């Protein structure tokens, strides 16, 4: 069954830039980052503190809600 795209906003952490994008059921986190012209080194997260970070190849359709805000952010450093 065909599903209507969901519109979400993506805020680029540290820049103040916010973009609306349409997401389709097959879009991955990396696809969404590409749609907002984010660097390939960025991660897509549910909040600016990166509490939930999506894998670049993760399809996130079922997680998304219409009008939801996501965040494009640099990955968290690992280790000390």
Residue 60, domain extent: 6-73
Predicted pLDDT at 52:
87
- 25-52 burial: b if 16+ Cβ within 10 Å, else e: eebbbbbbbeebebeeebbbbbeeebee
Would the pLDDT of 76 be above 80? no
Predicted pLDDT at 75:
83
Domain presence at residue 80: no
Planar angle of CA 68, 61, 28, nearest 5 degrees: 105
Predicted pLDDT at 1:
60
CATH of the domain at 46: 3.10.20.90
Helix (H), strand (E) at residue 43: strand 43-45
11-70 per-position pLDDT tens digit: 998 888 999 999 999 999 999 999 999 988 899 999 878 788 999 999 999 999 999 999
Domain presence at residue 64: yes
Domain presence at residue 52: yes
Domain presence at residue 79: no
Specify the pTM: 0.86
What tokens does 78 get?
Answer: 């690992």
């Amino acid at each position: 069954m065909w599903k209507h795209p969901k519109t979400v906003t993506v805020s680029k952490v540290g820049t103040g830039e916010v973009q609306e994008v349409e997401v389709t059921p097959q879009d991955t986190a990396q696809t969404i980052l590409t749609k907002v012209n984010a660097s390939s080194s960025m991660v897509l997260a549910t909040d600016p503190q990166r509490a939930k970070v999506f894998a670049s190849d993760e399809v996130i359709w079922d997680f998304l809600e219409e009008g939801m805000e996501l965040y494009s952010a640099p990955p968290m450093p690992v280790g000390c």
